[in-house]
Chains A and B, each alone.
Chain A
């Protein structure tokens, strides 16, 4: 205590350093788990892929977009939730169809086929899409998305890929 080299660490400075060091370590040890905890569901394996049977092909009229809807139950945390999906199916021939997602490419509202216009119309910000899926007018940045499909024994299957 009595005579001290001026370069020696004072008791006060020693505790300052040790204190900040220990708090820093505790902060990191708590902080990283907390961040990971909060973003956890976003890091979980999302989606997957699935073939959805959409019934016999002959159910779908030639050349006319027809809505097909289905629901899937998914586990979200502690709850099973049903999610509805809608696709527009246009049969061109016995081997060829187009399957459009009804999700607007603007901000994900659901588009509807308007027979009288011959267009898909989105109710949210009035995007119009042609029967080919191309954007006619409105804010949508790209054509409607298409699903892969296959036809087996006259049954149409849609390839649902998510995530």
Chain B
């Protein structure tokens, strides 16, 4: 009985906000939408979304100490691992999360393909998904250089060399990726910029559209025997 008035006050606050924000409507459209009887494979998109957010959070925290210059990058990563409380955890989550994200995006794509969910009217959802898949790989590629150790250096040497294999434009691609002939301070800072601003920004935009489409079109029915 003592907690009655406070409850109704909370209720009143909710109603006040709801009237202005339309929370109930959002809730109905986003969470209470109709979903066909599906299986666990249909949770892979949400799992990917969870990883994407986790990568965002841990990545933002890594930039508190990480410095993208040749003279400090390696030492700053070392400091995160040795000198910062829970640095090993934050970096560890980001490191493993990256691999898991590639895995989950791929499995999600497989289930969409296997279930034929890419067909009309969901072609755009699929196309945007393909972009998200490629951008996820781009995140892995650009992130790999950042620790600036031997493995990072040589992986990027090889990766940018592979990018240069197409005829005619190949050498240009390599030079643009590296920011010049060699892997240098310019390469490190542009990979950093791509890794923390350009690619994630684009992904955020595309994930938003992707989810909008998923909600607007609804989840596809798993194909039946008579189809």
Residues of A whose CB lies within 8 Å of any CB of B are 30, 33-34, 36-38, 40-41, 43-44, 77-79
Contacts and interface: CB of A to CB of B under 8 A. Distances in A.
B89 A33 contact: yes
B86 to A, nearest CB: 4
A37 B80 CA distance: 9
A77 B86 contact: no
Interface of B: 57, 61, 64-65, 67, 72, 75-76, 78-79, 83-87, 89-90
A34 B90 contact: yes
A34 B84 CA distance: 11
A48 to B, nearest CB: 17
A40 B85 contact: yes
Contacts of A40: 83-87
B76 A37 contact: no
Contact of B57 (A30, A78, A79): A30
A41 B89 CA distance: 16
Contacts of A44: 83
17 contacts: A33-B86, A33-B89, A33-B90, A34-B57, A34-B86, A36-B85, A37-B84, A37-B85, A37-B86, A38-B61, A40-B85, A44-B83, A77-B65, A77-B79, A77-B83, A78-B76, A79-B75
Contact of A43 (B57, B85, B89, B90): B85
B10 to A, nearest CB: 16
Contacts of B76: 77-78
Contacts of A78: 65, 67, 72, 75-76, 78-79, 83
Counting from the closest, the 6 A-B pairs by CB-CB distance are A78-B75, A33-B86, A78-B79, A40-B85, A37-B86, A36-B85
A79 B78 CA distance: 11
Contacts of B61: 34, 37-38
A76 B79 CA distance: 10
A39 to B, nearest CB: 8
Nearest to B91: A37
- Indicate the member of A41, A43, A77, A78 with the most B CB atoms within 10 Å: A78
B75 A37 contact: no
A132 B192 CA distance: 54
- Indicate the member of A41, A43, A77, A79 with the most B CB atoms within 10 Å: A77
Nearest to A38: B64
B78 A37 contact: no
Contacts of A79: 72, 75
Contacts of A41: 84
